[in-house]
Amino acid sequence: MFLTLTCDSYGKVGEDGTPVDPVGYDYQRAARDAIHFPALFDRLIQNLRRCIGYDVQYFAAIEPQKRLAPHVHVAFRGSISRTDLRQVIAATYHQVWWPSTETVRYEGEQLPVWHDATGGYVDPRTGEIVPTWEQALDAIGPHDQPLHVAMFGPKFDAQGVLAGSKDAGRCVRYLTKYLTKQIAGCHQATTDAEHAHATRLAEALRYEPCSRSCANWLRYGLQPRNARPGQIPGLCRGKAHRQENLGYAGRRVLVSRKWSGKTLGDHRADRRAWLMAMLDLPADEDDGAFRWQRVTLADHDHMPPVQRLMHVLADRSAWQAALVAARCKADEHPPDLPAADGRAA
């Protein structure tokens, strides 16, 4: 099953993805949906597994649309009815129970100041300690509303795909092409309208808190979780605030643990068998020929941690050089690397 999901509408857009009415376009909701999109997708998988009744396996790739909102393409193992998909998607949402950001308390040059004695930020005028993250969460009452509720849009595309068919190959190519792509590489702004749209979205993301430890919480009179000196609202280093990420800070490719049907030990064994074959070495070794025991301080071959680390680095360097040489041999290209002699740099 190949599924495509998008976020809801933030306003009418043209063919190039730019809003018809930039003033009425809901950039704040677009920014928050992008930030919390990974959590929304996780909730979808949880709900789908509960509804279907088995551990659904998936391979997903996330990319931005022309309007710069994230959407996800998912390949599911097995077949899921569209009725079940429609009901699960409609019932899936993610509530963000964070403190309110409606009131701006500090901006410009009047920002909270770090106080070494208390290990936190204080008001620059009164010297009072700024409320901590834990205090702000405790202040959320039963009648308060969540900061944001993320949901998928009502439209989705679901296709049944048979293994070995042309559609299966097309879907596989469509998913795997994102393995090496960045968010910015999926859509390039070429017109003034597209550049202006991207700039407005980046401005909406500038002061939007991206996590519990985001520096932007100081703007709203709260200390970030695990606050540290030097945090300034609008200058958070989180990936969500980078213009090229468009608010999405998660992984581009999401794969369930059992998608391939193999454990981590199976994957390691496959890689080892491939490497041994490329190096023309016997694939199987007699583990019974060795006896393993922990090295102690009394052993004559005991090494201090620094020396042991240098040996590990040398071994890794030799293994990496051997692997590159094996790949070059397979591709019939001479390796352009110095011979590994086992010595650390």
276: CB partners within 8 A, 6+ apart: 282, 283
Paired tokens of 331: 């591709």
Alpha-carbon distance of 332 to 327, in angstroms, equals 8
Residue 343: the pLDDT is 42
Question: Residue 338: how many CA atoms within 13 Å on its side-chain side?
Answer: 6
Residue 341: the pLDDT is 46
**Residue 71's beta-bridge partner residues?**
6, 63
Question: Residue 331: how many CA atoms within 13 Å on its side-chain side?
Answer: 9
Q: Which helix (H) or strand (E) holds 154?
A: strand 148-159
Residue 276: the pLDDT is 78
pLDDT < 50 regions, the chain: 335, 337-345
DSSP single-letter state for residue 175:
H
Residue 335: the pLDDT is 47
Residue 342: the pLDDT is 43
- For 277, the 3-state DSSP assignment is helix
72: CB partners within 8 A, 6+ apart: 4, 5, 37, 41, 60, 61, 62, 254
The pLDDT tens digits of the residues spanning 266-309 come to 878 888 887 777 777 776 655 566 777 888 888 888 888 899 89
Give me the helices (H) in the chain, please.
Answer: 27-35, 37-52, 82-91, 133-138, 166-176, 192-206, 264-278, 305-330
Residue 345: the pLDDT is 36
Any long-range contacts for 156-159 (C-beta under 8 Å, 24+ apart)? 156/3, 156/4, 156/5, 156/6, 156/85, 156/86, 156/89, 157/3, 157/4, 158/1, 158/2, 158/3, 158/4, 158/80, 158/82, 158/85, 159/1, 159/2, 159/3
DSSP single-letter state for residue 104:
-
How far are the Cα atoms of 45, 52, 57, 329 from residue 88, in angstroms, in the given order?
A: 9, 10, 16, 50
Q: Is residue 198 within 8 Å of residue 247, measured between CB atoms?
A: no
pTM over the 0.85 mark: no
Using alpha carbons, select from 47, 67, 88 the residue that is nearest to residue 7: 67
Residue 286: the pLDDT is 56
Other Cβ atoms less than 10 A from the Cβ of 256: the count is 16
The pLDDT tens digits of the residues spanning 51-63 come to 999 999 999 999 8
Q: In sequence order, what DSSP letters do the residues of 117-129 get, joined into one string?
A: TTTEEE-TTT-PB
